[in-house]
Structure 1
Amino acid sequence: MQRSVPLLILLMFTAITSTDAGDWPNFRGPTHDGLAVGETLVDSWPEAGPAVVWSRSIGQGYSGFVVVGNRAFTQEQTLYHQALICVDTDTGKTLWSYRYGWPHEGGGLYPGPRATPTVDGDRVYFMGPNGLVGCVSVATGTLIWSRNYKEEFDGKGTDFGVSASPVVWQSMVILPVGGQEASLIAVDAATGDVVWKCGSQPASYATPIIVPLGDRHIVVAPLENSLLLADAKTGHKLMEQDLSSGYDEHSSAPIYREPLLFTSGPFRSGGTQYQLSPVEDGAKLGMKIEWFAKEMSNDIASSVLVDDHLYGFDLREPQSRLHRPSRGHFRCLSWQDGSEAWNSQEPGHANIIAAGGKLLMFNDRGELLLCRATPDRYEELARCSVFPDDVCWTPPALSNGRVFLRTHQQAVCIQVGTSETSPNSPVPNESTATLASIRGPGRFNPTVLLGGEREFPAATPSWQELQLWYLANMTLLIVVAGVFAVLRRFDGQGDWTTIGYWLALIIAGAVTSGIINPLISGFLFTWPLAVWAAMQRTAELYVVAPNDRSERPSPWRARGMLIIFVAVGGIYFHCCRMLGMATEWAFLAGPVAAVPLAMALAWGGKQGQLVRYPAAARITSHLVSFTVFYWASVILMKGWIRVAS
């Protein structure tokens, strides 16, 4: 009995930590290339979609699932923390959670952790967006070690947040850092101690791969402007190929079939196949270009290689937003020479898993697709909408016939394999959940308020754009003020600053973009006027009134205007976030500079300094106040970008 207890504990622990054929322990699967060997996908699914094994709420983040045995791991973010979580693959219930940091960009465009964890034996490794690397126990979530190598080596090049997943090879963890003499590092998997360092270029967002070449293994790491190849055992740099200059986002995974290597860059930069060859002394590598395909620019979704053809999305213009998908074509290219076999806009920008001659794709519109992997034509077998109201960039995971998907709010496990590959999966019946039953209410589409979007929403507006927007806002202000001045026939005795005037300014700023933008080829942005008007009126109502108490605004009016100001700011923030307008948030900071002037002008008006020519003087004062508000916001916007760069 004394012998059997330790043996039983060992068997139980082995059942938890062993890696089976159906496991998905790494980013892009067991072989790091999106191929699910041994999985058999169904040929189609019902009109209502495949059966849902479970669905649960989850925090923000782009971290994908990894699956080992009956446990699945991913990272999430709540209002209070970031965490690595472990869930039961049959129920979706949380088994443990390891909290490791404060939220990352909680109110930003891209909130939460990015990197997918990695499971190796009885340990799971994770990377946080600020560079923290940790190792915890698979069984309990207990921390074994953690270090922030980005801080230690002053890593550069991952301003949007570290996104690469840890790569475990033999007894080391390979990590891109982007530091001086530490572009790429290897650390001891058991302790976190640095084993070797290599390179001095800034890092990027792609996960390195380790590939065989002759009698050695090579680390292939896409950096910000170069492709670094190093000996996996020693860290000796074998080759560094220039890819670009300036800030660049290399996010897609390289693809390798000895001795050929394919890499791709985003936004029309194309894809290149290289042939690798060792030189005689073994200290360097030979590399020559086999072919270049201009129209295969992978971004956050990587291609897969099935037989002799590449399948992937060629991103031609900006990534998707809530109101539209990414722009580009899904293409099939020959691995031999890069020639195109076919292209289609039907799949969209999709992360791909290849299994049994089929492609399981999860696109940025939240749709799950099943297609035939054939160079003859695009052949779709089934499609269903899983998350219709979200932009979905997180890669799927396939394990034992089940696919694991997530957004910033919800995670689901869906049955897509045959019963032979997933004997423990529930048999669909009348009580099985359907996709329709797990969907939440639809979201508001913010484009109705703006009538369109800029060509590159996340890019900082040019000075020409900002000047045009300023003139448009000023014109609106003058027109509304002029109309009210004429209609009310101001003589210095009336209440010129009525709620009607301010509501007219707020409404004009909020709706004019939506009216004009569908009619023009460019993009006008008039919401700054709405934000300023709500701020200006709130400031005026909270200025100390003259001694005559009868002229003081009632408390409900001041409080009501404050509520309107907060509501306008909230709607503006929501629109910017959903449309990917990263820098226009600076207009919410404009009141910091403008409020003192607004209050001074309001106080001057109440003390009779603007009475002689009330209409003209007050219109002028508002033009001055808006000008300070607008350009203070612009200075903040441009200054913030300069500091970040």
Structure 2
Amino acid sequence: MDAQTDHRARPAYVPTRRRGSVDRVVLCGIAAALMIGLAGSAGAQADWPGFGGPNHDGKSSDTGLLKQWPEGGPKLLWKAPGIGKGYSSVAVVDGIAYTTGDIAGRLFVSAIDSTGKGLWQAVADSAWEGDHPGARSTPTLDGGNLYIESGNGVVGCHDAKTGKRKWVQNLRDLGGSPHGWGYAESVLILGKLAIVTPGGEHCIVALDKATGKPVWSTSGWQAVPQYGGNYPFVRDGVPMIANGTSEGLACVNARDGSLLWYNTFSAHNTANCPTPIYSEGYVFWANGYGKGGLCLKLSAAGGKVSAQEAWRTRDMDCRHGGYVVHEGYVYGNNGGGWACLDLKTGRTMWKNGGVGKGSLCYADGMLYLFGEDGGRVGLATCSPQGMELRGTFSVQGNGPSWAHPVVIGGRLYLRYDDNLYCYDVKTD
């Protein structure tokens, strides 16, 4: 079955500049950001500026890491308590870690230095008080600013040195409303734009990252927002942004928000949490609650985008933990364990219990696994031939551990409950 193609979409908000000027100035920045960033050369290699890392794919550029952990796990460098309740992961830039957490009914963003010392905390919004309370969005750092989205749909830009807020935008004012478990996406920065998903009639919206004012929005795709983020990529010269919604997977043109294609896989699911991912001409998206995964093969000859359904699988039933693509294979959470799939064919290479249901990060040929129950952490081989655990340990906390692990600068960052842990995973 083919994904649907729709060219009816038009910008819904009047840009602050004439359309032609937006194409020349803002959109050149978008193309440059995508081309440079996805080539893996944007910024310092020891930075992890937001959810999924510099390329939004959950993969670290680190090398020289341990291939086997000692008994009890790698060395704990520090533990930073008091960051607040929640499931936010971390952004790490210049050795400073940023995360969000709920404290006494308010959503705070915290900055923690390379020794574990707290630098500052600032209020971003009131806390999410619906189901599963706790912080959701991981901060996104760009140009000395932090971009944060609360469970209530309040988007703010904060000074990364002080936490002082520079501007605020409410997704309700853009036609959205928090659904079910609240907003959980992390803000995507592309060039001069901050991309968010309020949902509703104008499902995906681009804001001017300097002011918070709308630049473009998607029309022709009305949906309730879900819990994954916007994923940027380029295919045959066309810059695209894909995200999952209540009506399925949608992809828009990053230049103006026009709808390029959609697929109704996983429409009206209990929840669609993972972010889609692109690799080698394929878009992969998997969800939990019995849905499994979808893979689409893309082409954009002459600027006309085609999204052909390549395969579906039940062997990546993924609620929160996500997946990574490495050398043509997808590695990710599958129900109570893990699975590996051939990206081009959908063939299941293996299934393994690992540390149980959880989230992951890739670095230096290994998978870093963070189990949802009991804070169990594992190091595993990343190979289509099978998964082998090379060490496990546990961190302390209460409730489910839904934050994704981060490996950058030779350090493993784990957020669990009210605590941020930092481990040394470099070789001697």
Quote the offset at 1:278 in angstroms: 2.0
1:467 corresponds to = none
Q: Does 1:189 align with 2:213?
A: no
1:536-551 pair list within 5 angstroms: none
After TM superposition, list the pairs within 5 Å mapping 1:348-497 onto structure 2: 348-365=356-373, 366-387=375-396, 390-419=399-428
Aligned to 1:235: 257
Contact 2:74–2:425, Cα closer than 8 Å, also in 1:
yes
Paired position in structure 1 for 2:23: none
- Closer/same/farther in 2, CA of residues 47 and 169 from structure 1, 3 Å limit: same
Change (3 A) 1:137 1:393: same
Alpha-carbon distance, 1:156 to partner: 4.3
Shift of residue 142, structure 1, vs aligned partner: 1.6
Deviations 1:135-163 (A, max 9, x none): 011112121111112x1133146321100
Q: 1:274, 1:288 within 8 Å by CA — same for their partners in 2?
A: yes
Amino acid at match of 1:344: N
**What residue is the counterpart of 1:346 in the other structure?**
354
Rounded to whole Å, the distance in 2 between the matches of 1:357 and 1:245 is 34
Tell me, yes or no, if the aligned pair for 2:153 and 2:177 is still in contact at 8 Å: no
Q: Cα 1:174–1:109, aligned 2, differ >3 Å: closer, same or farther?
A: closer
Q: Which residue of 2 aligns with 1:121?
A: 143
Q: In structure 1, how many angstroms separate the alpha carbons of the residues matched to 2:424 and 2:337?
A: 28
The equivalent residue for 2:345 is: 337
276, 294, 299: which one pairs with 2:319?
299
Q: Structure 1 CA distance, aligned partners of 2:184 and 2:391?
A: 31
State whether residues 139 and 187 of structure 2, in contact with CA within 8 Å, keep that contact through their aligned partners in structure 1.
Answer: yes
Measured in 1, the distance between the counterparts of 2:63 and 2:223 equals 39
Matching residue within 264, 282, 307 for 1:287 = 307
Partner AA of 1:22 in structure 2: A
Q: Does 1:74 align with 2:99?
A: yes
**How far 1:38 moved relative to its partner?**
3.1
Return 5+ residue gaps in structure 2 as ranges.
1-41
Q: Deviations over 1:571-620 (max 9, x none)?
A: xxxxxxxxxxxxxxxxxxxxxxxxxxxxxxxxxxxxxxxxxxxxxxxxxx
| Residue 111 of structure 1, aligned match among 113, 120, 133 | 133
SS of 1:177 mapped into structure 2: coil
Separation (CA, whole Å) in 1 of partners of 2:131 and 2:255: 39
Match of 2:240 in 1: 218
Q: 2:58 aligns with which of 23, 34, 45?
A: 34
Q: Which amino acid aligns with 1:57?
A: P
Q: Distance in 1 between matches of 2:63 and 2:152?
A: 35
Of residues 158, 177, 198, the one that matches 1:177 is: 198
Amino acid at match of 1:399: I
Distance 1:390 1:112 in 2: 11
CA distance in 2, matches of 1:390, 1:156: 27
Distance 1:375 1:247 in 2: 30
Higher relative contact order structure (alpha carbons within 8 Å, sequence separation ≥ 6) = 2
CA contact 1:173–1:186 (8 Å) conserved in 2? yes
Which whole-Å CA distance do the structure 1 matches of 2:71 and 2:406 have between them? Answer: 23
Among 82, 97, 111, the alignment partner of 2:121 is 97
Aligned to 1:162: 183
Query: C-alpha deviations, 1:199-235, integer Å up to 9, x for none?
Result: 3211111101010011121010111122111110111
Q: Which residue matches 1:209?
A: 231
> Which letter maps to 1:356?
D
Q: Distance in 2 between matches of 1:357 and 1:348?
A: 20
* Contact kept in structure 1, 2:363 and 2:407, CA below 8 Å: no
- Cα distance in 2 for partners of 1:362, 1:250 equals 20
Separation (CA, whole Å) in 1 of partners of 2:178 and 2:272: 10
Between the aligned partners of 1:340 and 1:157, the Cα distance in structure 2 is 36
Contact 2:324 2:362 in 1 (8 A): yes
Please, which runs of 5 or more residues in structure 1 have no aligned partner?
Answer: 1-17, 316-327, 420-645
The 1:89/1:338 distance shift into structure 2, 3 A limit, reads same
The Cα of 1:19 is off from its aligned counterpart by: 4.3
Letter paired with 2:71: E
Equivalence map 1:259-270=2 (5 Å): 259-270=281-292
Q: Find the counterpart in structure 2 of residue 83 from structure 1.
A: 108
Query: How many residues are aligned here?
Result: 383
Deviation at 1:351, TM superposition (A): 1.2
Residues 157, 224 of structure 1: 8 Å contact kept = no
One-letter amino acid matched to 1:409: D
Q: In terms of mean alpha carbon deviation, does 335-344 or 152-161 score higher?
A: 152-161
Q: Give the helix-richer structure, 1 or 2.
A: 1
Are 2:62 and 2:408, in contact at CA under 8 Å, matched by a contact in 1? Answer: no
Equivalent residue of 1:152, what SS? helix
Residue equivalent to 1:65: 90
Contact 1:157–1:204 (CA under 8 A) maintained in structure 2: no
Alpha-carbon offset, residue 238 of structure 1: 0.9
Report how far residue 294 of structure 1 moved: 1.7
Change in Cα spacing, 1:89 to 1:66, as seen in structure 2 (3 Å) is same
Q: Per the alignment, in what secondary structure is the counterpart of residue 140 of structure 1?
A: coil
Amino acid at match of 2:88: S
Partner SS state of residue 86, structure 1? strand
Q: Secondary structure at the match of 2:132?
A: coil
Distance 1:389 1:235 in 2: 41
Measure, in 2, the Cα distance between the counterparts of 1:86 and 1:193. Answer: 26
In structure 2, the partner of 1:273 is 295
* Partner Cα separation in structure 2 for residue 221 and residue 349 of structure 1: 23
CA distance in 2, matches of 1:74, 1:156: 24
Q: Secondary structure at the match of 1:179?
A: coil
The structural deviation recorded for 1:109 is: 5.2
CA 246–351 in structure 1, closer or farther in 2 if over 3 Å, else same? closer
Q: What does the per-residue CA deviation read over 1:245-285, in whole Å, with 9 as the maximum and x for residues that have no partner?
A: 435411112121131110112111110110112254x3x52
Aligned partners of 2:259 and 2:342: how far apart in 1? 31
TM-score (norm 2): 0.86
Give CA-to-partner distance per residue, 1:55-94, whole Å, 9 cap, x none. Answer: 121311111111000211000111142111111122x222
The residue aligned with 1:525 is none
DSSP-derived class of the 2:197 partner: strand
Deviations 1:35-71 (A, max 9, x none): 1013332022221321111112131111111100021
**Contact 1:40/1:355 (8 A) holds in 2:** no
Structure showing greater radius of gyration is 1
1:443 maps to which residue? none
Counterpart Cα distance in 2 of 1:244 and 1:400: 37
Following the alignment from structure 2 to structure 1, what is the Cα–Cα distance between the partners of residues 286 and 236?
24
Q: Is the 8 A contact 1:348 1:364 kept in 2?
A: yes
CA gap of 1:192–1:236, structure 2 versus 1, over 3 A, is: same
Equivalent residue for 1:246, pick from 268, 276, 285: 268
- In 2, Cα distance between the equivalents of 1:247 and 1:339? 24
Q: Is the 8 A contact 1:225 1:248 kept in 2?
A: no
% of aligned pairs identical? 28
